[in-house]
A and B are shown apart, each in its own frame.
Chain A
């Protein structure tokens, strides 16, 4: 069988169908989406590369186990509605996943074609189906007979939205509590328009509402009601509150004006649309912007700063490029747009003027030591190598941890040292009866799709819990 596949693989095009993109020179001046999406012809060409493996590995790489070869086969038959229906059987947010999943480490990493050439562009095909459906008008599946059970979902990010969608499809009455005025969590405030248009997030949320999910914005659990009170009102609770508490470096000068956490910078830009003069929220426009960190959030902040009109944007990262946790594609996009990468460099102090405005970042050169037990090479400062980079805006993107506000006035919920919730990996069950958790609030800052996977598993476990209750 394997031989047969290999033989067929020898005949298919090694290269995947390219994705049309806005040219770098143009896109760095606007917040429009960079990747433009496949045309019907592109999608058909790419879908035809799939070998329809008998025992497809790609599905194992997908945290929510979408029937990948199944939906690709339907694309080949030009049954795009059938394809999206197949995807939505397991994934409630395909337009988002197709855009922001790191497919190269998930489904596409396990594609057989990847051994000798490029794997099938599964993410792009998923996106194509979702975009096709939005143009046609989204169909809402029939809802199962109500079970009479009520579930509260706290947080409307990827974990909460996925859990809510699955639970609603099973006939449970779901209410989502969201602290901000808009649903989506990091999809709304964190990931910029040029990677994930907010109109798409809005429409995906709308779909979940059509499944019968009630949505309560401006509702803060821990302030309006405690988690304990929520447990009294509902048969089960899912916590998908994310990791929204920004980390700062604790270096001198970090409170100067012009120094932002990535959360604040991106919230102002994405959620409040500070880049648009029609909107009231302000954000400081830097000429020289320094972004500290090497993850996707750092790339998003840097590329947003560039689009706000900065002359120079630098990424300052204490390890090397190979160690950067950001997606390859995001690093490449950032480079194409002209972001400067200052690697093996770490800030030690932020300098400011008499008016309290930031003027520069003092950095030190780093070198990587031998790999430690975990296999990671830890960086150490090179003595005497300090130098300064001029800066009028500095964005700290060194990671986040769970916001403690949710735990206020609630008892019996075990947490780890870093403030994350202790939950069973398979079911999301916590130490508190009837309370399940998943996504960044359990793992610390991770990916959209792993949060969705956790939401999905928890929904299944909650359904079983409710049946036994």
Chain B
């Protein structure tokens, strides 16, 4: 079983977009879901959000940033090559309905999962205000796509090289303060950004959803490696989520659990890069 890479491009420094031939996944996919892939027989299983899918073409798009060994290895693959395993769609689809006005906030590669949601919320008849951000303008992804998928698009960069000089959550707060009626805020990005964002939106009378990025193995609910505490109860991100009510998520626990293999991950990258230098990859 192998899944062909149809297209591969670098859309920002060390951020890549890959289109995979996976008709079964494409046919069933919904916004808010993810996949798990394995590069080869010795590879690990890593979860990536579905950034786009075309049911008639049978393709699924993923976007990833080079972080650890597997994503670095993935970055070296090109169109025409194959992935050993590509399983999905996983997770409960995002709860998308006609609500009125919805604010979608995406940070870094977190813009990738926001994009299918923007399309789906717009299709469901909502006014979609999207706010996307990155450290600087070069790292900003999917700007055109997001513009097309949203009623309004705001941009923020940490260094002010494009759009608002500051955080995406500053813009979110401004909109919430403006008195516009907003039914829901969806925030997706690094855990610290989701935690801060949830804190900022918390005092307002608005529903706040986040999409969690726990460590996963199988992604089907059989191991509990991805467990998080939501409202005092243990939930499995891969089946109960990844979307949860931000006010009820224990973000400190989530961030601590994400750090579990940090030492091993660093070692794996070091070994891989050493092998690359020696021309082994």
Tell me the A residues contacting B by CB distance below 8 Å.
179-181, 217-220, 223-225, 244-246, 248, 250, 254-255, 257-258, 260-261, 263-264, 267-268, 272-273, 278-282, 284, 355-356, 403-405
B107 CB-CB contact with A under 8 Å? no
A218 contacts B87, C-beta separation under 8 Å = yes
Contact yes or no, A257 B234, CB < 8 A: no
Assess the A248–B90 pair: CB atoms within 8 A: no
Contact indicator B28/A223 (Cβ below 8 Å)? yes
Tell me if B221 and A224 are in contact (CB < 8 A). Answer: no
Chain B hits for A355, CB < 8 A: 256, 259
Q: Which residue of B69, B84, B228 contacts A181 across the interface (Cβ within 8 Å)?
A: B84
- With A219-B24, A255-B253, A268-B217 as given contacts, are A181 and B224 in contact (CB-CB < 8 Å)? no
Q: Say if the beta carbon of B176 comes within 8 Å of chain A.
A: no
CB distance from A157 to the nearest CB of B (A): 12
Cα of A244 to Cα of B219 in the assembled complex, Å: 12
In the assembled complex, the Cα of A272 lies from the Cα of B86 at a distance in Å of 15
- What is the minimal beta-carbon distance from A284 to any residue of chain B, in angstroms? 7
Whether A282 and B264, one on each chain, are in contact in the complex, defined by CB atoms closer than 8 angstroms, is: yes
A278 touches B42 (CB 8 A): yes
The reply to whether A356 and B218 contact each other, CB–CB distance below 8 Å, is no
Considering residues B27, B224, B229, which has the most beta carbons from chain A within 10 angstroms of its beta carbon?
A: B224
Nearest chain B CB to A275's CB is how many angstroms away?
Answer: 13
Complex contact B223–A180 (CB within 8 A): no
Does chain A have a CB within 8 A of B170? no
Beyond A255-B257, A280-B69, whether A220 also contacts B223 by CB under 8 A is no
Q: Give the contacting residue for B224; candidates A220, A246, A278, A405; CB below 8 A.
A: A246
**How many angstroms from the CA of A248 to the CA of B265 in the assembled complex?**
27
Complex CA–CA separation, A263 to B42 (angstroms): 20
Of all chain A residues, the one with the shortest Cβ separation from B84 is: A181
- Asked whether, in the complex, the Cβ of A246 is within 8 Å of the Cβ of B257, the reply is no
Does B257 contact A280, Cβ atoms closer than 8 Å? Answer: no
> Which listed residue (A224, A263, A278, A280) contacts B223, Cβ 8 A?
A263
Chain A residue numbers with a CB within 8 Å of B225 are 260-261, 264
Whether B88 sits at the interface, judged by CB under 8 Å, is yes
Say if the beta carbon of B135 comes within 8 Å of chain A.
no
Find chain B residues with CB under 8 A from A260 CB: 225
Query: Which residue of chain A is the closest to B257 with respect to CB atoms?
Result: A257
The answer to whether B223 and A261 touch across the interface, beta carbons within 8 angstroms, is: yes
Whether A181 pairs with B87 at a CB distance below 8 angstroms is yes
Q: A181-B84, A257-B257 are in contact. Are A272 and B44 (CB under 8 A)?
A: yes
Q: Does B70 contact A (CB under 8 A)?
A: yes
Q: Is the CB of A280 within 8 A of B220?
A: no
A268 to B222, CA, bound (A): 12
Q: A-facing mask of B117-150, CB < 8 A → 1, else 0?
A: 0000000000000000000000000000000000
Interface contact B221-A223, CB-CB below 8 Å: no
Do residues B229 and A255 form an inter-chain contact, with CB atoms below 8 A? yes
List, sorted by A's number, 30 A–B pairs whose CB atoms are closer than 8 Å: A181-B45, A181-B84, A181-B85, A217-B85, A218-B1, A218-B87, A219-B24, A219-B87, A246-B223, A248-B234, A255-B228, A255-B229, A261-B223, A261-B225, A263-B222, A264-B223, A272-B44, A272-B45, A272-B217, A273-B42, A279-B43, A279-B44, A281-B44, A282-B264, A284-B260, A356-B253, A356-B257, A403-B220, A403-B221, A405-B221
Asked if B222 and A280 make an inter-chain contact with CB atoms under 8 angstroms apart, the answer reads no
Interface membership of chain B positions 83-116, coded 1 if the CB is closer than 8 angstroms to chain A and 0 otherwise: 0111111100000000000000000000000000
Question: Would A267 and B42 be within 8 Å (CB), given that A255-B229, A405-B239 are in contact?
Answer: no
Q: Which residue of A lies closest to B39 (CB)?
A: A280
Interface residues of B (CB under 8 A from A): 1, 24-25, 27-28, 38, 42-45, 69-70, 84-90, 217-218, 220-225, 227-229, 234, 239, 253, 256-257, 259-261, 264-265, 268
B85 contacts A224, C-beta separation under 8 Å = no
Q: Contacts A220-B87, A356-B256 given: A280-B268 contact, CB under 8 Å?
A: yes
Instruction: Collect the chain A residues with CB atoms within 8 Å of residue B25's CB.
Output: 224
B234 and A255 contacting across the interface, CB-CB below 8 Å: yes
Q: Once the chains bind, are B85 and A223 in contact (CB under 8 Å)? A: no
Would you call A267 and B85 a contact (CB within 8 A)? Answer: no
Kindly provide the distance from the CB of A435 to the nearest chain B CB, expressed in whole angstroms.
Answer: 20
Considering the chains assembled together, what is the distance between the CA atoms of A403 and B222 in angstroms? 7
- A218, A260, A403, most chain B CB atoms within 10 A: A218
Whole-angstrom distance between the Cβ of A165 and the nearest chain B Cβ: 21
Inter-subunit contact B88/A257 (CB<8 Å): no
CB distance from A175 to the nearest CB of B (A): 13
Residues of B within 8 A of A403 (CB): 220-222
B residues less than 8 Å from A257 (CB atoms): 256-257, 259-260
CA distance A217 to B24 in the complex (A): 12
What's the minimum C-beta distance from A86 to chain B, rounded to whole angstroms?
Answer: 35
Closest A-chain residue to B255, C-beta based? A356
Chain B residues whose CB sits within 8 angstroms of the CB of A261 once the complex forms:
223-225
Question: Of the candidates B44, B89, B224, B261, which one forms a contact with A264 in the assembled complex, judged by CB atoms under 8 Å apart?
Answer: B224
How many angstroms from the CA of A356 to the CA of B89 in the assembled complex?
Answer: 31
Contact of B221 (CB < 8 Å), options: A180, A245, A248: A245
6 new A-B contacts at CB < 8 Å, known A244-B220, A246-B222, A356-B253: A264-B224, A267-B218, A272-B45, A282-B264, A284-B261, A403-B220
List residues of chain B with CB within 8 A of the CB of A179: 87, 218, 220
Contact for B44 among A223, A263, A280, CB less than 8 A: A280
With A181-B84, A267-B222, A403-B221 as contacts: A254 and B69 at CB distance below 8 Å = no
Query: Could you tell me the distance in whole angstroms from the C-beta of A407 to the nearest C-beta in chain B?
Result: 12
CB neighbours of A180 from chain B (8 A): 218, 220
Expressed in whole angstroms, the Cα–Cα distance for A225 and B88 within the complex equals: 11
Q: Name the residue in A246, A258, A281 with the highest tally of chain B Cβ atoms < 10 Å from its Cβ.
A: A281
B44→A267 contact, CB < 8 A = no
Chain B hits for A220, CB < 8 A: 87-88, 90, 220
> From residue B241, how far is it (CB to closest CB) to chain A in Å?
13
Check A405/B89 contact, CB under 8 A, given A255-B229, A280-B42, A282-B261.
Answer: no
Bound complex: CA A282 to CA B85 (Å) = 18
What separation, in Å, do the CA atoms of A217 and B224 have in the docked complex?
21
B33: nearest chain-A partner, CB-CB: A223
Distance between Cα atoms of A223 and B219 in the complex (Å): 12
Compute how far the CA of A452 lies from the CA of B199 in the bound complex, rounded to whole angstroms: 53
Distance, CA A245 to CA B240, complexed state (A)? 13
Known contacts A263-B224, A267-B218, A272-B217; A254 and B28 CB within 8 A of each other: no
Contacts of B220 in A (CB 8 A): 179-180, 220, 244, 403, 405
Q: Which residue of A lies closest to B263 (CB)?
A: A282
Cα-based distance from A148 to B28 in the complex (angstroms): 28
Residue of A nearest to B233 (CB): A250
In the assembled complex, the CB of A351 is this many whole angstroms from the nearest CB of chain B, namely 15
Q: Is the CB of B223 within 8 A of A267?
A: yes
Pairwise interchain contact A224-B28, C-beta atoms closer than 8 A: yes
